Structure 1
Amino acid sequence: MKLAQPYQPLLLRILHGLTGLFLVAAILTAFWTYDTYDGRWGRIPLPSYKDIEGIHGTFGLYTLLIFPAFVIYAFHRGQKRLIQPDSFTKLTQVNKPIWWYTLNRFTNTAVLLALTFALFSGKMMDETWLPKGELNHAWYYAHLISWLIMVIAIALHLLINAKVGGAPLLLSMLNRQFRDKDSPTYWSAHLAQWWLSVQQGAWSNWFQSSRTLVFLEVAILISLVAAWIIPLFK
């Protein structure tokens, strides 16, 4: 029996797609940067390209710019895809459908945290370290570890999503069709309505999620802001 392809909101597909595109490019150029300037734990025969670090930094910057919008969407419109107050309890129901759905929520959340760590540690680095051969800085090691965690988190994210929804779920993020209510022509009206609701006090509902989700969202957003501010005082 052919599974129906689930519908994904257009804004989710755009934010997820841009974040994923820049992230994959950053991961690939991160390894090329390591291969060019380091290679202490193994390397492959990639051409030595001294400007690769700048290209990696550019893709990292693009990811950092789009990621906050994706975080806000994920913790509000997409919070059901993240860990829930009863998620740890449901992990005891091994191999049942709810177990896989709960693992999916954990991996979705783990990707957000891993990317936050990668972006923050990257901003703490100095772009002159690697060209000068300074490979023993703590933040450089942290950034290497962050990208290893990032690759593992993405792999688990894809594998668990494939288990939960199969190819239809994975391909639904690439579907270009959208419903009328998701049309970009209505975005300005939706934004105006959202801002009016904020002025009327709807912002207080933002913190009615579970304490865990509120804590994670605030921690991630503070980390992203700090990633911009801290380098200014270096």
Structure 2
Amino acid sequence: MRLLKPRPPYQPLLLRLGHGLTSFFVIAAILTAFWTYNTYDGRWGRIPLPKWNAIEGIHGTFGLFSLLIFPLFFLYAVHRGHKRLIQANSLKKLTQVGKPVWWYTLHRLTNTLTILALTFALFSGKMMDETWLPKGELDRGWYYAHLISWVVLVICISLHVLMGAKVGGTPLLMSMFHWRFRAKDSPVLWRENIRRMLGRSRISSSLVQEWSQLSFPLKVLEVIVFVSLVGAFILPLFKG
């Protein structure tokens, strides 16, 4: 009897697009972050990469694109993909060690920690000054914080991928790269959906109602992330 290969689970098109764009810019920022460290610092190890002074600006560009795209992806993840994040009973489920629910809970917690790690990396990066490294000012507190944040982020992304492979295997990982989409996800409908949403007379009350339905951990997560992202844009204005 011929066994059929498991089909990849369907992922909403907006989730794939947001996840894909965020992943691309974040990974590019991580790679250029190491090259920047390798060029200007190297106190904890260095590899034979060309010394390229322009790499810091390229890293900053990828970081900025990550900062601009991430809030939209995060908003979708919390309000439409909340089942993939921390739940109100996550701590209770962690007591069921070794059971499937334990692995699924670890997967959700890893996803949540990855979001927090990226938030801190983006915030600490905005708090840095682009002149510090060229001038050899390597003992700045925000520079150390940014270095630590990217190391933590690399660890979290690695765990995110490993946990995805554990709970869903290759089909789950590959489902984020499929181009097929269902009729309800068609980009043709996006304009009409946005027009309908903006045309609601009680859009504010709808948002309040949706916020009230979030679990307490997700409310805390959303507040932390958006306060940090707003601060990332505002606080650097007062650095000088």
**TM exceeds 0.5?**
yes
Alignment match, 2:208: 204
The equivalent residue for 2:196 is 193
Task: From 204, 222, 229, give the equivalent of 1:224.
Answer: 229
For residue 104 of structure 1, the aligned residue among 103, 107, 113 is 107
Task: Give per-residue Cα distances to partners, 1:26-54, cap 9 Å, x unaligned.
Answer: 00000000000000000111110010000
Question: Aligned-pair distance for 1:95?
Answer: 1.2
Once residues 104 and 198 of structure 1 are traced to their aligned partners in structure 2, the CA distance between those partners, rounded to angstroms, is 39
Structure 1 position 180 matched with structure 2 position 160: no
Q: Which residue of 2 aligns with 1:30?
A: 33
1:1-234 equivalent positions in 2, closer than 5 A: 1=3, 2-197=5-200, 199-200=202-203, 201-207=205-211, 208-234=213-239
Structure 1 range deviating more: 204-213 or 20-29: 204-213
| Residue aligned with 1:209, SS | coil
Gaps of 5+ in 1: none
CA distance in 2, matches of 1:47, 1:199: 57
Separation (CA, whole Å) in 2 of partners of 1:72 and 1:193: 19
Aligned with 1:173: secondary structure? Answer: helix
Structure 1 residue ranges (4+ consecutive) displaced by more than 6 angstroms after TM superposition: none
Q: Which amino acid aligns with 2:63?
A: G
For each residue in 1:134-166, what CA deviation from the matched residue of structure 2 results, as whole angstroms up to 9, or x when unmatched? 000000000000000000000000000000000
**Residue 210 of structure 2 aligns to which amino acid in structure 1?**
W
The C-alpha deviation readout for 1:10-33, integer Å capped at 9, x for no partner, is 000000000000000000000000
Counterpart code for 1:228: F
TM-score, reference length from structure 2: 0.95
Count matched residues: 234
Matched residue of 2:151: which SS?
helix
User: What SS is found at the alignment partner of 2:177?
Assistant: coil
Aligned AA (1:58):
T
CA distance in structure 2 between the partners assigned to 1:173 and 1:198 by the alignment = 35
Q: Can you give the 5+ residue segments of structure 2 that lack an aligned partner in the other structure? A: none
Task: Give the CA deviation at 1:194.
Answer: 2.4
State the Cα deviation string for residues 64-86 of structure 1 (Å, max 9, x = none).
00000011001100011001010
C-alpha separation in 2, matches of 1:88 and 1:197: 38
